[in-house]
Amino acid sequence: KLKPDPIPDDYVTQILEVGRWAMSGANGQPWDFIVVKNPDTKKALFRAYIEENNDFIYWMEQQREFKLRHPSFQMTHDEALQKHRNEVGWSAAPVLIVIVGDGRRQWATVQGAHTFGRDQSHLTDGLANTSMMMHLAAAALGLGSQHVTIHIQEPFKRILKVPDLLTFSLIMPIGYPAVPPKEGVRRPLEDMVHAERFDLSKYMSNREVIEYLYRLREKTVPVYSHSYAGRPPVPDKAEE
């Protein structure tokens, strides 16, 4: 929910400068930033997001029990089509910052950071660090921002001429907030802080994790103003 009003170029430069100073493995700095202001390009990126990225996510979410689906996808396919037919979404934001990663630059760090068979990658770490710092910089300037993760990269790379070897990580729309921010949903601090060593009484069993996810969805669904959750379902034609 960002206003289409333009923001000062200096604000964009300040946000990028903060991102430039993010932490990365052995200072490899595996990121590049693409600043997009052209309305047609923004619309093309958003359509790719809806038609490729979100369509893929929608069908993946169908593997879950309805109440455990991501709040944005607690809807039927017909509802999804209706929702997105005339949606402009974040394409109306005055500026998009696209974060692209170059995995070769993580070679700067130790080889153990990208050992096969272990969930370690300083490319992922670095891109997460720079994006978080830019989100904070935008907030400090009184701006709002979104974190649009890209799962299917190819259509976005074609639009922005990004080389195949690089990682199209995310799109960060920034602009003045159109609505007051909603209160975030977070676990209590005491549930996640441990003194001296891990407190096993706070360790969740598999069943407790599933129960936690149900409770989490109940709290977060109302926060997603773009979610159709809670509306009477519109049956898919195949179900009629």
Distance CA 15, CA 158 (A): 26
Pick the range with the lowest mean pLDDT from 7-11, 54-58, 132-136, 204-208.
54-58
pLDDT of residue 56: 85
Q: What are the structural domains, with CATH classification, of the chain?
A: 9-182+225-239 (3.40.109.10)
User: Of the given ranges (168-172, 211-215, 222-226), which has the lowest mean pLDDT?
Assistant: 222-226
Give me the torsion for CA of 231, 89, 20, 33, rounded to 10°: 130
- Give the torsion sign (CA, 34, 39, 44, 47): positive
Tens-digit pLDDT profile for residues 26-59: 999 999 999 999 999 999 999 999 888 888 888 8
What's the pLDDT at 85?
A: 60
Dist. CA 76–CA 229, nearest whole Å: 10
Least confident of 2-6, 13-17, 41-45, 68-72: 68-72
The percentage of residues in the chain with a pLDDT greater than 90, rounded to a whole number, is 61
Report phi then psi at 143, rounded to 5: -100, 160
The DSSP letter of residue 2 is: B
Q: How far apart are the first and last CA of the chain?
A: 35
Residue 209 has pLDDT above 60, yes or no: yes
Under the banding of pLDDT at 50, 70 and 90, the label for residue 221 is confident
The pLDDT value given to residue 88: 80
Both tokens assigned to 95: 């500026």
- Nearest-angstrom CA–CA distance, 230 and 239: 19
Instruction: Tell me if 52 sits within 8 A of 59, measured CB to CB.
Output: no
Q: How many CA atoms lie within 13 A of 189 on its CB side?
A: 1
Average pLDDT over residues 12-19: 99
Q: What is the DSSP letter of 121?
A: -
Gap between the Cα atoms of 122 and 109, Å rounded: 8
Interval 95-105 mean pLDDT:
95
Average pLDDT, the chain: 87
User: Above pLDDT 70, what percent of the chain?
Assistant: 86
pLDDT score of 80 more than 80: no
Count CA atoms within 13 Å of residue 17 on its CB side. Answer: 6
For residue 236, what pLDDT is reported? 45
- Token readout for 83 is 């929702």
> Mind listing the pLDDT tens digit for each residue in 141-186?
999 999 999 999 999 999 999 999 999 999 999 999 998 877 889 9
> Looking at residue 43, what is its pLDDT?
96
